[in-house]
Structure 1
């Protein structure tokens, strides 16, 4: 019940701010004799002790920014008095990397999944359409919509659906550039993703990002459940859609024959990503995911913190858990890349949190990151 909630949540004994779980009106007693000096919106921060101008503001026992003016106990702490200044974090490597206590092999659990071979285990059985250039994106979407209607009318035993993965580039892209390398790596990942029982790649024909070299480099071979096609070879949009549907129709029986079988939890690879974050995320959903992450890793599974920009300001906590020094160095090199990227593009690291994040109580990227990394639990990096 809301009536049973404390007026303020203090998350660490070092903190000089707390989070109010519900709207607080001026005059309400908070903690340790501190009284709210003004209305504090739910999920937002309130000072629980005096914070001098320029002094660090602490939440989770960590620095989330610095006071831009003196803040009195009971005052709302947010954009009007908190900002990022130069932050010098101490990066210690591997000091918290205690050997993980794993579940013994004979007691490890299983789930019903799709065995794709070579240790790849899926939780779904989709057919994926990959458009290798923006010019084939519309065709890809039309084909996926055709099967969405068809599956709604009749369904298809054991196939979760046909989905189109499209994007807006690929035409005159320099494949040796950073964007080109990321795109190539992403497509290889899609093509090998164990949640796909079948793949159809659709290109235009004249784009720089050709699927031929990609397929060869990835060690893929065309067959019943992996096909490729070019719009210019088919003679236009309508003919391509018809030909693509014929190819997928040919795939359906083979993809549909794949059945779920008991698979080890160690085959799970779980991607962890924040949705619409607010002041509660770092104290509720994200720590809960961290517990789930630990449970899976103890079974031999892998979890991934998938948003490097939402690690900045908390990377020192992860380097302490690095399995090896070179792992910590690799993480810091990505953070350095992100600093350089924002500088080159006239941006700033604190562009994140978004407007909605701030409305929900998050003030700085340091605060958001400290809550975001909680999804990674406590196991070695």
Structure 2
């Protein structure tokens, strides 16, 4: 068992406090679809609300489309449909989303009324439903969606940022285009920031389960209980079975040679540093609501867009991504803070990256000092400071629910 660790009671940020007690780092209105057939209408609604059109509502960050490719040609019952539904519903319930319009064609396998009923979503001033086949087509649906958002804007604008403890922050941990230097700088610095977050009472979500398969014993040893260790083992076992005999990063003997990573095991050991040093408190399946405090694991693929979508559906209000050779990723509706493992990458992609961890490599900063920098930047971005991906408008195409199941 791990000894108690100190708390950082003074740490806090300026967030949007919701009626249910959860706290958002942003204040968006989301335009969702139950299936791809409503995607164009959803984008038209969101595109109508330019920055100029919502300028009068200074507390609303944006109107965002959350469109995807699923919803039809799939089984109507079972885990594939359940996963899709809880991903959409979880994102609607994310505290970064003040209100939502859900659009459907009307004949999707993911029936919109079945979706609302299963996920216990209730229509109201901040949650509307629009069905193309019932309202008379795309133009009428877009007009109805615009009217719904116009009614929501004054309500969403009532939310004013207020000081809240860092315990309300939920950070999803990601990586993309890792290199060997990440193991020396960005990943351990991120782990140090995670320790500070946990000490402050917050939550960090580690994902990309396939990265843990080659270090299962090390990961299980961090579990706070036997039950948590067993849950982690079950998810790792599933990945080993799922990838057996396939050409995946888990089964390859060699990995990212061009980036200095010789094997999946080496990549896994580097990625594990992002988890810091505190006990693993819980294990969640994809897109399930995260309720535990501290370090938790959510089962996801390593594909950043799919992994991050599950984390956001689970309640992540900020993402932190480490990269070696650079990444342009940004999540839908949630600020994504990107850490470069080296200064050369940071300079080359400075319009995309937020923090340079190169000082750890040249000895001008320790891992602990860089971790403090990362943690303090989280609080700043959680308080409204835009990330580079937000400044670029990245995120509208990055809502990607895990596409499992049979398609026909």
Same fold (TM over 0.5): yes
Higher relative contact order (CA 8 A, sep 6+): 2
Q: Paired residue for 1:100?
A: 4
The aligned residue for residue 304 of structure 2 is: none
Match of 1:247, SS state, is: helix
How do 1:1-381 residues align onto structure 2 when only pairs under 5 Å count? Answer: 97-103=1-7, 107-148=9-50, 150-151=52-53, 154=55, 156-343=57-244, 346-350=246-250, 357-381=256-280
Residue 340 of structure 1, CA deviation: 2.0
Cα distance change on mapping 1:148 and 1:120 into 2, 3 Å:
same
Cα shift at 1:190 = 0.7
The whole-number CA distance in structure 2 between the counterparts of 1:353 and 1:218 is 42
Unaligned runs of 5+ in 1: 1-96
Alpha carbons 1:129, 1:199 under 8 Å: kept? yes
Which 5+ residue runs of structure 2 have no aligned equivalent? Answer: 281-408
Measure the CA separation in 2 of the matches of 1:317 and 1:108.
32
Structure 1 residue 111: deviation in Å?
1.4
State TM-score, norm by structure 1: 0.68
Cα distance in 2 for residues equivalent to 1:379 and 1:333? 21
Cα-to-partner distance string for 1:93-147 (whole Å, 9 max, x where unaligned): xxxx41331317xx34321111113331111101111111011112212222222
Deviation, 1:343, is 3.2
Give the paired residue count: 280
Which SS does the other structure have where 1:316 is aligned?
A: helix
Structure 1: distance between partners of 2:40 and 2:125: 24
Contact 1:278–1:358 (Cα < 8 Å) also in 2: no
Please say if residues 342 and 349 of structure 1, whose CA atoms lie closer than 8 Å, have aligned partners that are also in contact. no
CA contact (8 A) 1:290 1:376 kept: yes
User: Counterparts of 1:265 and 1:234 in 2: how far apart (Å)?
Assistant: 44
**Counterpart-to-counterpart distance in 1, 2:2 and 2:182:** 27
SS in 2 for 1:179: helix
CA distance in 2, matches of 1:209, 1:150: 35
Give deviations 1:206-247, integer Å, cap 9, x for gaps: 011123233233332211111111111121112211111111
Structure-2 separation of matches of 1:220 and 1:101 = 38
Q: Over the residues paired in the alignment, what is the CA RMSD in angstroms?
A: 2.2
TM-score (norm 2): 0.64
Larger CA Rg, structure 1 vs 2: 1
Q: Residue deviations 1:131-167, cap 9 Å, x none? A: 1101111221222222236458x46401111111111
Change (3 A) 1:178 1:362: farther
User: Does the 8 Å contact 1:151/1:161 carry over to 2?
Assistant: no
